[in-house]
Amino acid sequence: MRVPGHAQTCVQAISCRSIGYRWQRTRFRGIRSRPLALSEKEVVATVAVLDEKISDLFDQVVARNPGEAEFHQAVREVFDSLGPVLAKHPHYADAGIIRRLTEPERQIIFRVPWMDDQGQVQVNRGFRVEFNSALGPYKGGLRFHPSVYLGVIKFLGFEQIFKNSLTGLPIGGGKGGADFDPKGRSDGEIMRFCQSFMTELYRHIGEHTDVPAGDIGVGGREIGYLFGQYKRITNRYESGVLTGKGLAWGGSQVRTEATGYGVVFFVRDMLAAVDDKLDGKTVVVSGSGNVAIYAIEKIQQLGGRVIACSDSSGYVVDEAGIDLELLKEIKNVKRGRIGDYAEGRSSARFVTDGSLWNVPTDIAIPCATQNELNGADAAQLVKNGVRIVAEGANMPCTPEAVRIFHDAGVRFAPGKAANAGGVATSALEMQQNASRDSWTFGYTEERLSEIMSSIHDLCLHTADEYGAAGNYVTGANIAGFIKVADAMLALGLI
């Protein structure tokens, strides 16, 4: 039976009007300081009309997608930034771009039957949401987790549109997965599930159509089984159909490290923008999977000190700095729990109650899952003097948490910008596959660093242009939106 984990981790999203939500007109005022064809009165009137139009559009999204709280939350977060764009470029609204963007081009739901080690037939539900292909083939990961349902996949796919747009690479947005829990399953069970999943998915993907990758519950092992089944069914060695592959069979250097490294490169640039650096800063990282581990690795390489990390059983605090090799051995080799770290490290303590975000730190990087950091956590971080929060996971901060950070002047980087390193390196893997080439680790990491710096600068520049200086959320949403919207206009009404 699927555990409705999404009901526990998400913030219920309802219509703007029913909760008295007011779009942030302070952001809209920023457009008044720049030369416009409109007069002051016309600007105010335009903003008021747009305010109502955006609210109506959001109500329509909620009505058309009932019960999908995560999707509602993701859409509202983007809508919150679009008022000044539509005031300056009304042709986007005239062409129905926003309505088209919030409706996936294709939603695929399918049965995944498989046999467990006891010979019992199990049935799961698989999903692939091909959200938007204006910039290129659909691109986005596959998530295997019991909390997966259509609303989660749509939220992730919607975010992927803007994240992929920000990279500057020719990739559209999509996402997929299944409500299958790989935890506690044997290697044979996981292989049989992956083979059954791909037996349906194969007909919908291709290197020029839709290119899945990994996500929570889908690592190198699962990608291998999926690719093997695709090759068997199609009789084609189509390397570019999946990314996150092993190095021996079409994978890319730095792909495993990419999301974790990328978020740290983004933090590095956030600090550089205010003439600061990571060296000597304390950092708290949630999670202890690939994203968290490689974020910790890059933080340490740049001189930062990670003092806490976590998993679903609790968190460890190590003021001496997390011993990365010990953490890797526990999580990647022994497949152990984070509590094992404290048993092997005298300077560490393991905590099973309370919040990881109670630990005082300069920088917080949530890398676990959506809505893990709530308003109370944000208030505690602010009280303890946090300076930067960067999302390593997809939408790990609730709307209330984001508001608290902004109100307190904490520099906040949204996931669609800060964790784009994973999909950027996936696109680099696609380039290597297309040219039958293989790049060195150093060259690939350099490309990743350049892409993350470009995203950072684009977010800052766009935020400043639209009257929200220093607001990475507004900058990311507007910059990502404009590129996709312009492509959609150029391609016609399709």
Q: Per-residue DSSP letters for 376-428?
A: HHHHHHHHTT--EEE-SSSS-B-HHHHHHHHHTT-EEE-HHHHTTHHHHHHHH
Task: Note the pLDDT of residue 9.
Answer: 36
Task: Note the pLDDT of residue 49.
Answer: 52
Give CA–CA dist 18/460, Å, rounded: 33
Domains of the chain: 5-101 (no CATH), 106-242 (3.40.50.10860), 258-413 (3.40.50.720)
Task: Note the pLDDT of residue 50.
Answer: 52
Please say if 416 is a catalytic residue: no
Cα torsion through 295, 300, 305, 308, rounded to 10: 40
Q: Is 41 annotated as a binding residue?
A: no
CA 23 to chain centre: 24
Task: Note the pLDDT of residue 21.
Answer: 32
Q: Is 183 annotated as a binding residue?
A: no
Question: Which residues make beta-bridge pairs with 126?
Answer: 110, 178
Task: Note the pLDDT of residue 310.
Answer: 98
Task: Note the pLDDT of residue 52.
Answer: 78
Residues 214 and 224 sit within 8 Å (Cβ to Cβ): no
Task: Note the pLDDT of residue 340.
Answer: 96
pTM, two decimals, is 0.88
Give CA–CA dist 366/396, Å, rounded: 6
Task: Note the pLDDT of residue 494.
Answer: 86
DSSP state of 170: S
List the Cα angle 318/354/291 in 5-degree steps. Answer: 55
How is the chain split among helix, strand and coil, in percent rounded to 5?
A: 50, 15, 35
Task: Note the pLDDT of residue 53.
Answer: 81
Mean pLDDT by 10 residues, the chain (494 residues): 36 34 33 36 47 87 97 95 92 95 98 99 99 99 98 98 98 99 96 99 98 96 98 97 97 98 99 98 97 98 99 97 98 93 96 96 97 98 99 96 98 98 98 97 99 99 97 98 98 94
Task: Note the pLDDT of residue 13.
Answer: 34
Q: Is 136 annotated as a binding residue?
A: no
Provide the H-helix boundaries in 257-318.
258-272, 290-301
Q: Is 81 annotated as a binding residue?
A: no
Check 175, 281, 298, 331 and give the catalytic one: 175
Q: Is 160 annotated as a binding residue?
A: yes
Give CA–CA dist 261/452, Å, rounded: 10
Give CA–CA dist 214/255, Å, rounded: 10
Q: Is 231 annotated as a binding residue?
A: no
Q: Is 433 annotated as a binding residue?
A: no
Task: Note the pLDDT of residue 26.
Answer: 32
What distances in angstroms separate CA 469 from CA 43, 275, 409, 414, one per listed residue? Answer: 19, 17, 12, 15
Task: Note the pLDDT of residue 350.
Answer: 98
Give CA–CA dist 477/459, Å, rounded: 8
